């Protein structure tokens, strides 16, 4: 496999610190290790530094009888650029004050914080989510609303990005949130390479539903997935929802319902996400003009493309290219 490259002028992504404590959720902890802590020989640029920081003594007893030995004490958070909080052991138990102070101090100096599942209760107790949007596992939402009424809880999303604070839903959504952070730092090509190593889809947008029905076989040989593949191959063309429904062998009304059941999204929203993913890929990997990229992604107006890209990605196409486009070596 060819080695992926990134802009040599980009700054080092810094140190990622994942917090451990007794009752640690092992799957969420493993997500942080897998995405940020493994060696990445496939890349020829600086990857994240990684450390395990204990909130309660050097050793933590994790769920499943596993004992985790931390690399550093809580004070080491002062060196972290990114802090990962796995699921908290008891959402009705206030986390240790030392932990909350350390996280709040790190955030005040600019560290990013990312919670997975019930880890949101730690960030909330540290005061990082007041007046902000956040999410968590759907089972924990009533308690999050009750304990922290100042948070705007997003009820049907995989993750919420509020700049320096990212919260994610149930355990597997933590993978999406971590890949989203990698995408923010390195661009889509690198994030997709990490997803490939995880054997994960390259991108699930944060706005997708937490829980969706498994994709349905609508007729022998015809699935929603096949229609999605057909549309992906034609992103440069106008794609009407009625045309997608016809290919699926359904009425438009039935198709809309089945598509939502299978993906947690509407066909129009899904097409927009696919067009933006294609735009990011072309901006990173090629030398096409913005006008050509606009056309290849199905936009006949360059200005409409610019507006859609900024709304979706948070920056202009030109700025995105300047940050993430591959440079000659």
Domain residue extents for the chain: 15-198, 217-265, 269-324
How high is the pLDDT of residue 65? 86
Cβ within 8 Å of residue 306, ≥6 positions away: 290, 316, 317
Q: Nearest 5°: phi and psi at 304?
A: -60, -40
260-272: average pLDDT: 87
Residue percentage of the chain with pLDDT more than 90? 66
| Dihedral sign, Cα of residue 135, residue 133, residue 116, residue 89 | negative
Residue 217 confidence (pLDDT) above 70: no
Residue 230, pLDDT score: 94
Distance (Å, whole) CA 133 – CA 1: 40
Q: How many Å apart are CA 20 and CA 72, to the nearest integer?
A: 10
**Hey, do 15-198 and 217-265 end up sharing a CATH topology, with the first three levels equal?**
no
Which stretch of 1-15, 201-215, 233-247, 275-289 has the lowest confidence by average pLDDT?
201-215
pLDDT over threshold 80, residue 222? no
User: Does 221 have pLDDT greater than 70?
Assistant: no
Q: Is the pLDDT assigned to residue 220 strictly greater than 50? A: no
Give the angle 296-198-5 at the CA atoms, nearest 5°: 55
- Apex 273 CA angle, 233 and 10, nearest 5: 105
**Residue 12 pLDDT level (bands cut at 50, 70, 90):** confident
User: pLDDT, tens digit, for every residue of 21-59?
Assistant: 999 999 999 999 999 999 999 898 999 999 999 998 888
Give percent helix, percent strand, percent coil of the chain, each to the nearest 5: 45, 15, 40
Q: For residue 89, give Cα distances in angstroms to 7, 24, 61, 189, 258.
A: 40, 6, 11, 35, 37
- Averaged pLDDT for residues 281-294: 90
Q: For residue 117, indicate whether it is catalytic.
A: yes
Q: Confidence class of residue 216 from pLDDT cuts 50, 70 and 90?
A: very low
Residue 189 contacts residue 285 (beta carbons within 8 Å) = yes
The helix or strand, by DSSP H or E, that contains position 17, with its residue range, turns out to be strand 15-20
Q: Using the 8-state DSSP alphabet, how is residue 286 labeled?
A: -
CA neighbor of 117 nearest in space, from 137, 102, 97, 103: 137
- Of 99, 100, 103, the C-alpha closest to 78 is 103
pLDDT, position 7: 45
Q: Which of 124-138, 207-221, 240-254 is predicted with the least confidence, judged by mean pLDDT?
A: 207-221
Which CATH code, of 3.20.20.70, 3.40.50.880, 1.10.490.10, 3.30.365.10, is assigned to 15-198? 3.40.50.880
CATH assignment of 269-324, among 3.40.50.720, 1.10.10.60, 3.60.20.10, 3.40.640.10: 1.10.10.60
Averaged pLDDT for residues 291-304 = 94
Region 66-81: mean pLDDT is: 93
Residue 143 clears pLDDT 60, i.e. is over it: yes
* pLDDT in the model for residue 107: 97
pLDDT at residue 326, rounded to an integer: 67
Out of 3.30.365.10, 2.30.110.20, 1.10.10.60, 2.40.50.180, select the CATH number for domain 217-265.
1.10.10.60
Res 212: pLDDT:
46
pLDDT for the residue numbered 59: 87
Distances (CA, A) of 208 to 96, 175, 205, 240: 33, 14, 6, 21
Confidence band (pLDDT; 50, 70, 90) for 136? very high
User: How much is the pLDDT for 50?
Assistant: 97
Q: Annotated catalytic residue: which of 25, 113, 117, 178?
A: 117
């Amino acid at each position: 496999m060819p080695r992926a490259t990134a802009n040599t002028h980009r700054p080092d992504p810094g140190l990622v610190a994942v917090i451990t404590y007794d009752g640690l959720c092992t799957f969420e902890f493993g997500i942080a290790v897998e995405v940020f802590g493994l060696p990445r020989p496939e890349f020829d640029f600086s990857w994240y530094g990684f450390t395990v920081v204990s909130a309660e003594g050097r050793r933590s007893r994790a769920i499943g009888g596993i004992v985790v030995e931390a690399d550093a004490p809580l004070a080491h958070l002062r060196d972290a650029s990114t802090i990962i909080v796995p699921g908290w052991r008891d959402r009705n138990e206030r986390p240790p004050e030392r932990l909350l102070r350390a996280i709040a101090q790190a955030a005040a100096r600019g560290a990013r914080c990312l919670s997975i599942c019930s880890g949101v209760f730690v960030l909330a107790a540290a005061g990082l989510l007041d007046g902000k949007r956040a999410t968590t596992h759907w089972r924990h939402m009533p308690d999050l609303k009750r304990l922290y009424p100042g948070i705007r809880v997003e009820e049907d999303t995989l993750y919420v990005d509020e700049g320096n604070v990212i919260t994610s839903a149930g355990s597997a959504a933590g993978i999406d949130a971590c890949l989203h952070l990698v995408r923010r730092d390195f661009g889509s090509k690198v994030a997709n390479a990490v997803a490939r190593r995880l054997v994960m889809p390259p991108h699930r947008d944060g706005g997708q539903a937490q829980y969706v029905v498994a994709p349905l076989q609508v007729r022998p040989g015809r699935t929603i997935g096949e229609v999605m593949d057909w549309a992906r191959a034609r992103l440069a063309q106008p794609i009407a929802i009625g045309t997608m429904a016809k290919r699926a062998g359904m009425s438009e009304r039935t198709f809309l319902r089945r598509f939502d059941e299978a993906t947690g999204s509407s066909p129009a929203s899904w097409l927009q996400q696919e067009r933006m993913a294609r735009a990011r890929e072309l901006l990173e990997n090629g030398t096409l003009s913005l006008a050509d990229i606009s056309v290849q992604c199905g936009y006949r107006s360059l200005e409409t493309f610019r507006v859609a890209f900024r709304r979706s990605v948070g920056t202009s196409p030109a700025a995105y290219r300047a940050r993430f486009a591959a440079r000659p070596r």
